[in-house]
Structure 1
Amino acid sequence: MEAKIGYQIFPDRFYSYYHRGNTDWNTPITNDFNSGKRLYGGDLKGIEEKVSYLKELNIDFLYLTPIFESNSNHRYDAKTYFKIDPVLGDEIDLKNLIDTLHNNNIELCLDIALNHMSNESDWFKNALKNKKEKDFFRQENGNFTYWRDHKSLVELNLENKELQNLLWQDENSAMKKWTKLGVDHWRLDCAYDLGFDILKDIVIHLKSLGNHEIIGEVWAYPKDWIQIMDGIMNYYYTVIIKNMLNGTLKPITASQILKKVIFDSGMKLLKSWNMLSSHDSPRIKNVFGKKWKLAVVMQFTLPGSPLIYYGEEIGMEGDHDPFCRGVMEWEKVDKDNETLNFYKKLINLFKNSEALKKGKYYEVIANDDNILAYYRKYKSIKDGNLIVINPSNEDKEIQLYFEESLLLDAMHLSDHFSDNELYIEMGSIKGKIPANSFGIFYMKPKEYETYSAYKRL
């Protein structure tokens, strides 16, 4: 099992080829009654045009929020699951995008909202006329139910056998149709609303077509959910990182929580997505301010698959929805962009580290409660990475203790991102870590001209 690097795109805001939107690309985002209806015209062909950028960024998979025909720019209110929104393109555009991605060794993950669909869908219009589709929708006390009581999002009766056949079971079902077209993986919106039995059934039927990963949107403790699906969007990490860096959670306590969740969940966490922001939340720099690098380092070094929300890698900012859904600022894609260069270095480190892609997680005990440290190793100490985070406003003298028998006395560890070094003393590690900083340390390859303590290890 191996972690991958993902990239999330909100299709309406990435790149427009056909210019089918109702809003000029340069129009500032505003929060009003019509914000969910404004279409900037980003489309599938536009994404295909930018695959070279994704290739250069060196990601492994692309995750698109919903692309099915709907009444909004977010498209979580599907009118049908069998047709692509014409503003985005058609099946040919999707197939071309898939082929271009695959030719560049990038997988595609599509998003689908099965818990609810648009109240303007043909199915629901027929339901209101008391036709057979009435049984497609969930009811309580004779009334239809709506997701979080939003009247535009009527909930589906997923226990209905005919509906199950239409959505994921039959060979011509919606999910199998798009999978057979070439979609690699699926993200299930509101997976917690689907329940364990429905999720199990979806996984069984999609796995019958091949090794297609199912990732669920779950804002909860991962343990039980990843026993059913391949992974979840790991918001549990997100809240730990956020609270530790804003000072409401002490690093020593964060370490204890991380140890528990990783032990309980096991290495299936490698397929879960390490989230810091998305179309539903403020962007990284808005949340973490000057400590954003510390957050991103944790995103890339905790067990899991880091998911980059489009534009984060170039330093885009944006507050709560709809401001976190701004158009991609292509003018910031520049070799001198410090944020982009930081991401590229971190991505390169991840892609070339067996420890970060496959390695186990080891708790590291620090002499200071305000230091978070942990260790990742796959097989060899030569590929091991010691991560140290100092979110405090003070420089720290640290001494670290963890279960690694090959920390040999008088050897050094070097930081991938600075000239800082730590020193091994009788199996523990000593050194300094500056205020509001991090280090990703690796075993220094050579201490002496001829001597190596690791010559037979």
Structure 2
Amino acid sequence: MEAKIGYQIFPDRFYSYYNRGNTPWKTPIINDEKAGKRLYGGDLKGIEKKIDYFKDLGIDFIYLTPIFAANSNHRYDAIDYFKIDPVLGDENDLKNLINSLHKENIELYLDIALNHMSDKSIWFKKALEGKKEKDYFRKENGYYTFWRDHSSLVELNLENPQLQKILWQDENSVMKKWMKLGVDHWRLDCAYDLGFNILKDIVKYIKLSGNHEIIGEVWAYPKDWIEIMDGIMNYYYTDIIINYLTGNLSGKTTSEILNKVIMDSGLKILKSWNMLSSHDSARIKNIFGNNWKMAVIMQFTLPGSPLIYYGEEIGMTGDNDPFCRGVMEWEKVDNQNEVLKFYKKLIKLFKNSDALKKGNYYEVISNDNDILAYYRKYKNIKDAKLIIINPTDKEKDIHLYFNESLLLDAMHMKDHFSSNRLYIAMGSVKGKIPPNSYGIYYMELKEYRTYSAYKRL
């Protein structure tokens, strides 16, 4: 089991090939009553045209937010799960995209909202007419229920056996239809709303169709959810990172919380998505300000699969929805873009490190409560990584202790991102950490012309 690099795309805003939108591409995002209806025209063919970009970045999987026929640009209000929104293209476009991705060994996760669908759907219209579809929708006290009381998002009665067959159980069900077309994996929207029993049933039937993974949207402690699904969108990490880098948690407390959740979740947490932002939140630079690089370092070095929200690798900004859903700024894709160079270096480091992809996590005890440090190692000391974050305005004299028997006296550790070096003294690590800094340190295995303490290790 190992972590991978993911890339989230909000299809309407990535790249337009067919130009079927109702809004010119460069139109600024406006937050008004029409925000959810503006279609900029991004489509599946447009995504396919950017395969070389994904390959150059080093992406392992693409996650698309919903593509089904819907009543909005976010498409979490499906009208028909069996049809692709015609603005995005058709089944041939999806098949061609999948084939092009697979040629580059890139997998596709498709998003599906099973908890609710549009009140404009054919099913709900028939339900209001008293037809059999009335049993497809959830009721309490004789009234239909709506997700978070949004009147456009009517909740489905997922306990209905017939609906279960239509959505995921039968060979001609919604989810199996798209897997037969080539979709590799699924992201379940509002997985926490589905409940444990429904999730277990979905996983059971999807796994019968092959090696398909299921990642759930869960805004909670990961353990019980990871036991059912392959992983979650790890908002628990997100909250910890935000609170540490904004000063609401000390490094010591952050370390204790991270160690608990990682030990509790086990290695399955490697499949969970480490995400800092998405179509539902402000973008990274808006959240973390000048500390954004520290956040991304944590995203890539904590156990899990880093998920990049489209455009953040080129420095795009945007406040909360709808401003986080701006069109991809392709003009910023340039070899001189410092943000892009930072991401490419970090992605390359991640992909070449077994410690970061599948290594164990070790808590590090620091003499300074502001410092956050942790250690990742798979098998070989040569690839081990010591991560250190100092979000304060002060230089820190650190002294670190952790469970590594191969920290040999009088050797050094060096940072991948700077010239800073740390000294190993009798199994502990010492040194100075600059203010407002991050580091990923590796072992310098040979410091002498002929001698190495690691020659037989």
Interval of TM-score (by shorter of Structure 1 and Structure 2): over 0.9
Other structure's SS at 2:264 match: helix
Partner of 1:371: 371
Query: How many Å separate the matches in 2 of 1:6 and 1:136?
Result: 34
Amino acid at match of 1:413: M
CA deviation vs aligned residue, 1:338-369 (integer Å, no higher than 9, x gap): 00000000000000000000000000001100
Tell me, yes or no, if the aligned pair for 2:446 and 2:453 is still in contact at 8 Å. no
Q: Show the 5 A alignment for 1:30-429.
A: 30-429=30-429
Deviation for aligned residue 1:15: 0.1
Amino acid at match of 2:125: K
Tell me, yes or no, if the aligned pair for 2:113 and 2:190 is still in contact at 8 Å. yes
Partner of 1:18: 18
Other structure's SS at 2:422 match: strand
CA deviation vs aligned residue, 1:276-307 (integer Å, no higher than 9, x gap): 00000000000000000000000000000000
TM-score, scaled relative to structure 2: 1.00
Query: How many Å separate the matches in 1 of 2:440 and 2:191?
Result: 34
Query: How many Å separate the matches in 2 of 1:43 and 1:27?
Result: 17
Deviation for aligned residue 1:254: 0.3
Amino acid at match of 1:173: S
Amino acid at match of 1:394: K
Deviation for aligned residue 1:445: 3.0
Deviation for aligned residue 1:268: 0.5
CA deviation vs aligned residue, 1:359-391 (integer Å, no higher than 9, x gap): 000000011000000000000111100000001
CA deviation vs aligned residue, 1:59-80 (integer Å, no higher than 9, x gap): 1000000000001000000001
Query: How many Å separate the matches in 1 of 2:160 and 2:257?
Result: 40
Q: Root-mean-square deviation (CA), in Å?
A: 0.4
Amino acid at match of 1:45: K
Other structure's SS at 1:224 match: helix
Deviation for aligned residue 1:236: 0.3
Other structure's SS at 1:217 match: strand
Partner of 1:27: 27
Query: How many Å separate the matches in 1 of 2:46 and 2:277?
Result: 23
Deviation for aligned residue 1:189: 0.1
Query: How many Å separate the matches in 2 of 1:364 and 1:31?
Result: 45
Amino acid at match of 1:282: A
Q: Show the 5 A alignment for 1:422-437.
A: 422-437=422-437
Query: How many Å separate the matches in 1 of 2:325 and 2:433?
Result: 36
CA deviation vs aligned residue, 1:8-39 (integer Å, no higher than 9, x gap): 00000000000000000010000000000000
CA deviation vs aligned residue, 1:165-223 (integer Å, no higher than 9, x gap): 00000000000000111101100000000000000011011111111110000000000
Which ranges of structure 2 fall in alignment gaps of 5 or more residues? none
Deviation for aligned residue 1:412: 0.5
Deviation for aligned residue 1:455: 1.2
CA deviation vs aligned residue, 1:94-129 (integer Å, no higher than 9, x gap): 000000000011000000000000000000000000
Amino acid at match of 2:231: G
Deviation for aligned residue 1:440: 0.1
Other structure's SS at 1:82 match: strand
Partner of 1:454: 454
Amino acid at match of 1:22: N
Partner of 2:444: 444
CA deviation vs aligned residue, 1:251-294 (integer Å, no higher than 9, x gap): 11000000000011111000000010000000000000000000
Amino acid at match of 1:179: M
Query: How many Å separate the matches in 1 of 2:456 and 2:287?
Result: 48
Other structure's SS at 1:451 match: coil
Query: How many Å separate the matches in 1 of 2:280 and 2:291?
Result: 21
Query: How many Å separate the matches in 1 of 2:321 and 2:449?
Result: 57
Amino acid at match of 2:153: L
Query: How many Å separate the matches in 2 of 1:410 and 1:36?
Result: 61
Query: How many Å separate the matches in 2 of 1:141 and 1:236?
Result: 34
CA deviation vs aligned residue, 1:40-74 (integer Å, no higher than 9, x gap): 00000000000110110001000000000001000
Amino acid at match of 1:444: E
Other structure's SS at 1:63 match: strand
Amino acid at match of 1:402: F
Amino acid at match of 1:383: D
Amino acid at match of 1:363: E
Amino acid at match of 1:319: D
Aligned residue-pair number:
457
Query: How many Å separate the matches in 2 of 1:456 and 1:163?
Result: 62
CA deviation vs aligned residue, 1:306-327 (integer Å, no higher than 9, x gap): 0000000000000000000000
Query: How many Å separate the matches in 1 of 2:314 and 2:445?
Result: 33
Which ranges of structure 1 fall in alignment gaps of 5 or more residues? none
